[in-house]
Structure 1
Amino acid sequence: MPFVDLESNLPAERFSEDFLRKLSSSAATTLGKPEERMNLVVKAGLPMLIAGSYAPCVSLSVSAVGATDSAEKNRDHSGHLLRFLSAELALPEDRIVIRFHALEPHQVGKNGTVMSFL
């Protein structure tokens, strides 16, 4: 049950439903998770500064069980997601940062229990 949170200073209209579907699909593919388990939130129009600049930018946070728990996996995920975001949003790669968080099954709740018991 991956969680993808995108924050950006780009205006909300840049993040259409089509973009959200594509991002969800792209993240599911790289993480090796089913799309129907993806959770995606986009927060647009935020005051943001990356590397000392207010130029258009994106900060992406990716949390998942078993998919973001090693440097090797995250290197691959980073490349895949960076290329996707850069192409879709017409941003230079240095204006995109990605954070990965490894989750344990007991840290994700669903249906009144946690993933450990599902």
Structure 2
Amino acid sequence: MPFIDLQSNLPASSFSEEFLKKLSSSVAAALGKPEDRMNLVVKPGLPMLIAGSCAPCVMLSVSAIGVTDTADKNKDHSAKIFGFLTRELGLTEDRIVIQFHSLEPHQVGKKATVMSFL
């Protein structure tokens, strides 16, 4: 059950419903997770600075159970997600930052319980 949080100084018009669906699908494929388990929020139009510049940029946070717990896995995920974001948003790699967070099943609530029991 991955959680994707995209923050950007790009305007809301850059993030259509189609873009959200493509991002969800792309990250699901990168992580090897089913699309129907994806959770995504996009926060556009934020005051942001990356590497000393307020030029257009994206910070992406990826939290998931069992697939973001090693450097090797995250290196592969990163390459795939960067490819999608640079292609779809027209940003260069130096304007994108990704954080990976490993979750345990007991840290995610669903259906009035936690994933440990589902």
Q: TM over 0.5: same fold?
A: yes
Identity within the alignment, %: 74
SS in 2 for 1:25: helix
TM-score by length of 2: 0.99
CA-CA distance at 1:36 after TM superposition: 0.3
Count of matched residue positions in the alignment of Structure 1 and Structure 2: 118
Can you list the C-alpha shifts for 1:66-103, whole angstroms capped at 9, x where unaligned?
01010000000000000100000000110000000000
Distance in 1 of aligned mates of 2:28 and 2:93:
21
Alignment of 1:27-106 (within 5 A): 27-106=27-106
Shift >2 Å, 4+ stretches: none
Q: Which amino acid aligns with 1:36?
A: D
Q: Secondary structure at the match of 2:60?
A: strand
3-state DSSP of counterpart to 2:101: strand
Unaligned segments of structure 1, at least 5 residues: none
Normalization by structure 1: what TM-score?
Answer: 0.99
Q: Which amino acid aligns with 2:94?
A: D
Three-state SS of the structure 2 residue aligned to 1:80 is: helix
What residue in structure 1 maps to residue 19 of structure 2?
19
Alignment partners' CA distance in 2, 1:67 and 1:29: 12
Partner-residue secondary structure (3-state), 1:4: strand
Give me the CA root mean square deviation. Answer: 0.3
| TM superposition shift of 1:111 | 0.5
Q: Give the unaligned 5+ runs of structure 2.
A: none
Q: Distance in 2 between matches of 1:48 and 1:85?
A: 17
Return the alpha-carbon distance in structure 2 between the equivalents of residues 92 and 2 of structure 1: 25
Secondary structure of 1:33's aligned partner? coil
